[in-house]
Structure 1
Amino acid sequence: MDFLFLGNLFIFGQRREFTLMAVTNALIEQKIKSAEEVAALLPRNVTLGCSGFTPAGYPKLIPVAFAKRIEDEKKLGNEFSINLYAGASTGEELDGALAKTGALKLRIPYQSNSHLRNLINQGETDFIDMHLSHVVKYIEHGILPKIDAAIVEAIEVTVDGKIYLSTSSGMSATYIQNAESVYIELTDTHPLELKGYHDIYLPNHHEKGLPINILNPGDRIGLPYIQVSPDKIKGIVRSNKPDAATVFKTPDEDCQNIAAHVLSFIQHEIKKGRIPKEYLPYQNGVGNIANAVLASMAKDPNFHSIQMYTEVVQDSVFDLIDAGKLEIASTSALTFSEKGLKRFHENISEWKSKFVIRPQEISNHPEVIRRMGLIAMNTAIEVDIYGNVNSTHVMGTSMMNGIGGSGDFTRNSHLCIFMTPSLAKEGNISAVVPMVSHTDHNEHSTMIFVTEQGLADLRGCPPKKRAELIINNCAHPIYRDKLREYYENALRVSKGKHTPHDLEKALSWHVQFLKTGSMK
């Protein structure tokens, strides 16, 4: 039986050793501050660049302390204005705490906090919904407001300024590089064996024509840490607060049926010689459908030697490991449930060869995605009969989360697959509509659509053929006849016959839902 060393306690366990303890050195002792002391140093009008990605590795104590300072000073008549940049979505202690102050004026590039989402949709907070691969250039070229302070979560900081990040990379390296000041939340919630998982590399955007030398998902071309001048670090706060635990639902029948269609299609493509027998790397989005696909791959004997080049790794990766099928998973964040994180910690030394954590500019870089020929799998809010996709807006005007990296992968992958259940809101919404109420991915980029009803392969199809395939294969039966009726009427009344639409009725389904609560 092994021993697990936790701080200065020995605990009996059945797994391998890992080290979960506070680190210290001369720099840490010199820079140590409370969260309240750091919060007091932040300007009233401030642009913050924070670590965190869906939501892993984000700062927790400093934002909460800053929110408390804002609330206290507002009573004295002091006004605050915050621009918040992160990698993607973060937890309640960052997005939620700052949003609730009413001082959050701008957020980029992706979010999923309900309070923040409400402020965005009420017009109180500006939100720039961006392709994740574009954020770095917007920062470095001065298109967005300059970063005053970078706040990142790390597991270790050395005396010469090496910062070892926790469970996400995201935009941390860029924010540290471009910020006036750097503040670190030094967490002891992850083992020190997490050192070595990261591969920090940022291209030089001012030098033309230099390739990113990643040929395979497991290639490492950078450093396991971010180097910064110790003088730039203005404060270090010790933290023992873990990431908000992600809760994953057991995939329902619809998710399992979608997964079955996807796996059958991939095997078909292999037989046709369009995917090599050794497979191509996979990118999978966030959520239950993506988890169902990976879990099904783990069980299916036709799948083996799985490689992933993606943005986020979730609990479903453990199914692949248990089945002996995971070769490598390259990601920008490890986003596990509480149970999954415990298992990761218990195997952290052994699994170091299984994972690479990269900055999101590299995990989402079009050059690398195109070179490796990824099979990209992402979810949609709605699709229309010609293959346009809405990934971000409910009923055309209300922001959900953001486009995230789905555009980066859709436009550059070997195969892009969009997945969604055919119904929402207890059948009152059809995910297949005559015309999407907002377009994130247009018909020139999309290829494969999958619902629990079936799969439509749109490659090489003219618009009218696309419409027939999507209606027949993907729409739910309770809306199929209504879609056919719309399409046949559009063929009659549309002046142009290339992509027939009845513009008076194209968005009538959404209008009806807003009036009655149902598209039926």
Structure 2
Amino acid sequence: MSASSRIRNPELLQRLMSAEAAAALIPNGAVVGMSGFTGAGYPKAIPTALAHRIRDLNGQGEKFRISIWTGASTAPELDGVLAEVDGIEMRLPFQSDPICRQRINDGRMDYIDIHLSEVSQYAWAGFLGKLDLAVIEVAGILEDGRLIPSSAVGNNKTWIEQADKIIIEVNDKQNAKLEGMHDIYYGTALPPNRKPIMITSPADRIGEQYLHCPLDKVIGVVETSAADRNSPFTPPDEVSKRIAGHILEFFEREIAAGRLPKELLPIQSGVGNIPNAVLEGLDAGPYKNLTAFTEVIQDGMLKMLKSGTLGVASATAFSLSPVAIEELNNNIDFYRERIILRQQDISNHPELARRLGVIAMNGLIEADIYGNVNSTHIMGSRMMNGIGGSGDFARNGYLSIFVTPSTAKNGSISAIVPMVSHVDHTEHDVKIIVTEQGLADLRGLSPRQRAHKIIQNCAHPAYRERLMDYFERACASGRGMHTPHLLGEALSWHQRYEENGQM
């Protein structure tokens, strides 16, 4: 099936053009909102055509750069190709591309790291300036011009509403039966006109299946036939399995204590090896008809839906391996009844995370002995990816669980340090920290009690004694006993690593 057979609106069919012609419509200095979230639903052809154009202009001595807003991370065919030709002036709100990361950390690309739930509000309020153009991938266009969203919704609704001009990529590699999986809510508003968002279960639908798109804004339509970026699924390693084991034991204790129902509460899970290990552990357990209210549908959630461990999953995008994509496509009718894809200002909304009582599970780079978490910066200054949606769920969820191996770089770095070099999640928002060494339940503990728990339960044995020595000397310093620190030493571990390659 060709993409043109999915363009059912005659007026938009007349605006069909090549990716090169569409890229030529993007002016130098433009602010461009592009679809895409965790390697799904991003435009496949126009960014590459634009990168070729920029390379040609660079060769002629002409500088050409644009600013890019997305839902979250995209793929090498968008972030990578445009960063490689130095075509990105500013990027928001999240990225994971190595070339982008290098440009950001070299100071050659501006980067704004924002809670994913807030991006739409920032745009609507005008905090970010004017959005000139949107480039949106869809699975099809209806007769009346409404758009069938593809494998990610992200901020597409907002980009379409805010942009002066719109270019649409219609991708026939996106399963046509995605139609009906989406729930696009048109009831959001800025203060003081907000109303409650009437979702009381992850299964609730409150919106529409399609994106509204003013036809007079559309300046081009491009056909594509390219799959999303999909990384092969890596089975969880032993460290990940041990971390998952601690979390699953914790859930059992919470159920026994009456603090969690036997069906748990809606699960939010970050992307990666450890979250997938937790999902595999849940799937192997006694659970049935769990729910997920999260950002991303991963391989593990498809397996849980298939087995009945998970009854419904609400998210804003897929992040699937090639094998899982095949499974989704082969059984799309089954999954369409159990998966809801929403825009990210709903999938990540703090009101909903708090109301539903989400169990949030996210990764970290480092945590300190008092429970502050750094999830974005290496050694305090170098951006890794961004905060993503972890803050949306950590502050507002019923449980906020942060997970990490206890060491990195073959033991040269401790994930538990005296003081984090950058704070994304304060001690007030962090309830549980888990490493392969153990789990620290920080609820109801004072700072000094938290320090004992984190050091004893989570720190690697190679660093545990030194952390306790630091803590005890800080307590003995007389500087203050509420949150004891030795300011001259608090970041010395990071300094030692920078100088010697070893904490």
State TM-score, norm by structure 2.
Answer: 0.98
Which deviates further from its counterpart, 312-321 or 215-224? Answer: 312-321
Offset from partner CA, 1:32-54 (integer Å, 9 cap, x none):
01000011111111101010001
Q: Residues 105-144 of structure 1: matches in 2 within 5 Å? A: 105-144=89-128
Which deviates further from its counterpart, 26-35 or 431-440? Answer: 26-35
The one-letter code matched in structure 2 to 1:402 is G
The one-letter code matched in structure 2 to 1:51 is S
Distance, in Å, in 2 between the alignment partners of 1:160 and 1:22 is 15
Offset from partner CA, 1:417-444 (integer Å, 9 cap, x none):
0111101111111100000010000011
The one-letter code matched in structure 1 to 2:348 is N
Contact 2:136 2:167 in 1 (8 A): yes
- Aligned-residue offset at 1:246: 2.0
Contact 1:160 1:229 in 2 (8 A): no
Distance, in Å, in 2 between the alignment partners of 1:505 and 1:24 is 63
Distance, in Å, in 1 between the alignment partners of 2:396 and 2:256 is 23
Aligned to 1:14: none
The one-letter code matched in structure 2 to 1:129 is D
Distance, in Å, in 1 between the alignment partners of 2:364 and 2:92 is 21
The one-letter code matched in structure 1 to 2:403 is M
Q: Is 1:282 matched with 2:263?
A: no
- Aligned-residue offset at 1:232: 1.3
Q: Is 1:433 matched with 2:386?
A: no
Contact 2:317 2:341 in 1 (8 A): yes
- Aligned-residue offset at 1:84: 0.4
Distance, in Å, in 2 between the alignment partners of 1:317 and 1:261 is 20
Aligned to 2:170: 186
Distance, in Å, in 1 between the alignment partners of 2:471 and 2:192 is 50
Q: Residues 76-225 of structure 1: matches in 2 within 5 Å? A: 76-202=60-186, 203-225=188-210
Distance, in Å, in 2 between the alignment partners of 1:277 and 1:292 is 20
- Aligned-residue offset at 1:324: 1.9
How many residue pairs match? The answer is 501
Contact 2:12 2:215 in 1 (8 A): no
Aligned to 1:461: 445
Give the match's secondary structure for 2:470.
helix
Structure 1 residues not aligned, in runs of 5+: 1-6, 9-19
Offset from partner CA, 1:197-226 (integer Å, 9 cap, x none):
111114022553410011100111111111
Contact 1:330 1:363 in 2 (8 A): yes
* Residue in structure 2 matching 1:318, options 287, 302, 318: 302
Distance, in Å, in 2 between the alignment partners of 1:207 and 1:30 is 42
- Aligned-residue offset at 1:227: 0.8
- Aligned-residue offset at 1:250: 1.1
Give the match's secondary structure for 2:332.
coil
The one-letter code matched in structure 1 to 2:6 is V
- Aligned-residue offset at 1:24: 3.6
Contact 2:139 2:172 in 1 (8 A): yes
- Aligned-residue offset at 1:345: 0.3
Contact 1:160 1:230 in 2 (8 A): no
Contact 2:4 2:223 in 1 (8 A): no
Give the match's secondary structure for 1:31.
coil
* Residue in structure 2 matching 1:344, options 302, 314, 328: 328
Aligned to 2:220: 235
Contact 2:168 2:221 in 1 (8 A): yes
Give the match's secondary structure for 1:227.
coil
The one-letter code matched in structure 1 to 2:199 is I
Give the match's secondary structure for 1:45.
coil
Give the match's secondary structure for 1:316.
helix
- Aligned-residue offset at 1:21: 9.0
Give the match's secondary structure for 2:252.
helix
Aligned to 1:330: 314
The one-letter code matched in structure 2 to 1:279 is L
Offset from partner CA, 1:259-315 (integer Å, 9 cap, x none):
1110111111111111123321110011010000001100012x2211000001111
- Aligned-residue offset at 1:76: 2.6
Contact 1:382 1:390 in 2 (8 A): yes
* Residue in structure 2 matching 1:448, options 416, 427, 432: 432
Aligned to 2:243: 258
Contact 1:299 1:323 in 2 (8 A): no
Structure 2 residues not aligned, in runs of 5+: none
Q: Is 1:246 matched with 2:246?
A: no
- Aligned-residue offset at 1:29: 2.3
The one-letter code matched in structure 2 to 1:365 is H
Q: Is 1:365 matched with 2:349?
A: yes
* Residue in structure 1 matching 2:337, options 330, 345, 353: 353
Offset from partner CA, 1:328-356 (integer Å, 9 cap, x none):
00001011111110110000012111100
- Aligned-residue offset at 1:22: 4.2
* Residue in structure 1 matching 2:14, options 19, 24, 30: 30
* Residue in structure 2 matching 1:402, options 375, 378, 386: 386
Give the match's secondary structure for 2:43.
coil
The one-letter code matched in structure 1 to 2:153 is S
Give the match's secondary structure for 1:386.
coil
Distance, in Å, in 1 between the alignment partners of 2:127 and 2:478 is 42
The one-letter code matched in structure 1 to 2:173 is T
Give the match's secondary structure for 2:291.
strand
The one-letter code matched in structure 2 to 1:145 is G
Which deviates further from its counterpart, 226-235 or 174-183? Answer: 226-235
The one-letter code matched in structure 1 to 2:336 is K
The one-letter code matched in structure 2 to 1:155 is A
- Aligned-residue offset at 1:494: 4.4
State TM-score, norm by structure 1.
Answer: 0.94
Distance, in Å, in 2 between the alignment partners of 1:474 and 1:21 is 55
Q: Is 1:511 matched with 2:495?
A: yes
Distance, in Å, in 2 between the alignment partners of 1:64 and 1:237 is 13
Offset from partner CA, 1:494-519 (integer Å, 9 cap, x none):
41111101111111111111111111
- Aligned-residue offset at 1:77: 3.1
Offset from partner CA, 1:89-121 (integer Å, 9 cap, x none):
000111011111213110000000000000000
Contact 1:28 1:159 in 2 (8 A): no
Give the match's secondary structure for 2:345.
helix
Contact 2:124 2:162 in 1 (8 A): yes
Aligned to 1:16: none
Q: Is 1:59 matched with 2:58?
A: no
Q: Is 1:44 matched with 2:19?
A: no
